[in-house]
Amino acid sequence: MNIRICGGRVVDPSQRMDRISDLWIENGKIVRLLEASAASPSKANRKIDAKGKIVSPGFVDLHVHFRDPGQLEKEDLTTGTHAAAAGGFTSVLCMPNTSPVNDSAEVTRYIVQRAAEVGRCRVYPVGAITKGLLGKSLSPMRELKEAGCIAFSDDGRPVNDAALMREALTKSRELGTFLIEHCEELELSKSETVHEGEVARSLGLKGISRSVETVDATRTLTLAAETGARVHLAHLSCAESVSLIEEFKPKLSGLTAEVTPHHLALTVESVREKGTNAKMYPPLREDRDRTALGKALARGTIDVVATDHAPHTAAEKSKTFDKAPNGIIGSESALFILMDLVDNGILTIGDVIRSMSSRPAEIAGLNAGSLRPGSPADVVIFDPDEKRTFTESDIFSKSKNSPFVGTKGKGRVLLTMVAGRETFPGWE
């Protein structure tokens, strides 16, 4: 099967490439760029017109919740990977807070096998750091790694016990893998998940401070520096966390961090209008935080954008603010939301693609995120300019809990492929 993608703007940060060219794909692999006038090396089975469009490495999401096994009313591996493909993602890391928790080789193997059968993208399980995510004792990390886990996290919760965290960091270093910490100091986060301040007060809520995040981040980075482990901080929400990363990066080469599209695009003000669809951990903060996160991403202090795609049913999200679960979906809207930051001059298109493809692939150690000859043909083609409104019909997830429904903006994923097979909009 030979594919020629014609006339697109090929943007590949892994090769510092940004040029108009054709791309030649053979048997699921990138072979090379071709001049428009050059003949195809052999017969093209498919020609794709990408004139005026961007052709980039498929996106890599380090943080999704596919709820499979166990909470299939919210999402499953079929719909979760469909949502990912619709967002241009070709590889995702799925968090272990399923039911049962991914703390055994059996659950890991189930996810790997099921995703291979029904998935529209590559799915890499993240194993639990502690058994049952209970924070009491370590999961069988070696066994999990052998079964297919490529990182460890108790995401949804921090590893509260510092001694256990230190042990987990040491273990993950020995295994040559990395830990993803959901930064939250539980003693500080006992009220509703909303940023403390004016908005919270006006809604009769107490809210939580920035220190909920930074206290745990500081502790985690201190332990990582001491053990020499690689650590990745999930979904950072505030300016103070950016300062921490800046302080620790010079002495901690294995430190990386992510930010979500919603923390880059929204502030706590959104809670007034969107209610529980603007409720997630960590909460949306203030404008100075949003600005600091955007700048940190542009200069690479924050390495990647990850969606923290977290489906919940309408029934759960229609509970009162204090009772509704944390989290919003994000796979389908990620690029669309980031294009607004490009429009506003905060990010370049290269920043967006780097932080969504080459850099996350590098962090997770995947053979992905690049259009170099010989790489798997994991590719996304998108229109950066199409003006549109994000609607429910753009959502393929089982859940619709997005604060972005009704948002006007630009950009649309036109075609996603994994190893040369179309995964969106069609599925070969």
Give min distance, CB of 282 to Zn ion, in A.
Answer: 8
Q: Which is nearer to Zn ion, 155 or 378 (CB)?
A: 155
Q: By Cβ distance, which residue is nearest to Zn ion?
A: 182
Closest CA to 28 of 375, 423, 387, 404: 375
Pick 121 or 233: Cβ nearer Zn ion: 233
Q: Minimal distance in Å, beta carbon 153 to Zn ion?
A: 8
**E strand spans, 128-169:** 151-153
Residues lying near Zn ion in the complex (CB under 5 A) are found at: 155, 182
Instruction: Report how far apart, in Å, the C-alpha atoms of 82 and of each of 1, 92, 96, 234, 306 are.
Output: 23, 12, 19, 23, 17
C-alpha of 55 from chain center: 20
**Residue closer to Zn ion, measured from CB, 12 or 213:** 213
Tell me how far, at minimum, the Cβ of 222 lies from Zn ion, in Å: 20
Could you tell me the smallest distance in angstroms from the CB atom of residue 43 to Zn ion? Answer: 48
Contact 234, 181 (CB under 8 A): yes
Minimum CB distance to Zn ion smaller for 4 or for 312: 312
For residue 257, give the H/E element and its range.
strand 255-259
CA distance 16 to 282: 33
Min. distance of Cβ 258 from Zn ion in angstroms? Answer: 10
Residue from 68, 216, 308, 351 carrying the catalytic annotation: 308
Show the 3-state SS of 182-237.
Answer: CCCCHHHCCCCCCECCHHHHHCCCCCECCHHHHHHHHHHHHHHHHHCCEEEECCCC
Q: Is 308 noted as a catalytic residue in this protein?
A: yes
DSSP assignment string, 30-86:
EEEEE-TTSPPSS--SEEEE-TTSEEEEPEEEEEE---TTT-TTT--HHHHHHHHHH
Please say whether the beta carbons of 358 and 370 come within 8 A.
yes
> To the nearest whole angstrom, how small is the minimum distance from the Cβ of residue 182 to Zn ion?
4
In whole angstroms, give the CA distance from residue 306 to residue 410: 19
Please say whether the beta carbons of 92 and 121 come within 8 A: yes
Of 182 and 274, nearer to Zn ion (C-beta) is 182
What SS3 class is residue 408?
strand
Encoding tokens for residue 96?
């272990």
Choose between 15 and 191: whose C-beta lies nearer to Zn ion.
191
CB of 188 to Zn ion, least distance (A): 16
Give CA separation, 205 vs 91, 127, 278, in Å: 38, 34, 14
Q: Which is nearer to Zn ion, 308 or 362 (CB)?
A: 308
Pairing of strands 29-34, 17-26: antiparallel
Active site residues per annotation: 308
